[in-house]
Amino acid sequence: MMPGVGYIGIGKVIETPQPIKGVTFHVNGTEKGMEELELHDPDILNDKEDLDNCEYVVKVEWIKTVPIEKAFKEKGLKANQNAAFKLNSQYTLDKVSEFFGL
């Protein structure tokens, strides 16, 4: 869910949330830390040394995504300020699942 835009993907969490400092990704066969990646918002690395104030990252296996301009937004859907979250509203879950063909 992209706040103000709509639902742009549905996926499954594959790891528990981790402090941003220790998160790595495999990119073209090489393991890279967040500091080595080209980030849309480098400020996400602020406070990376402080476990109480740093960002936490959750890895997701994306099942289906759409471009931002095709985001699913409909009156009555539950939303959350977090980009990734578990849907608890059965109505929203049904509508989003239908949109993504699941």
Identify the CA nearest to 66 among candidates 25, 26, 15, 11.
11
> Per-residue pLDDT for 83 more than 70?
no
Cβ 57 vs Cβ 92: under 8 Å: no
* pLDDT tens column, 25-62: 999 999 999 889 988 888 889 999 999 999 999 999 99
DSSP letter string, 60-101: EEEEEE--GGG-B--TT----SSSS-----HHHHHHHHHHTT
> Per-residue pLDDT for 89 more than 90?
no
Domain locations in the chain? 9-100
In this structure, of 17-31, 41-55, 63-77, 80-94, the range with the lowest mean pLDDT score is 80-94
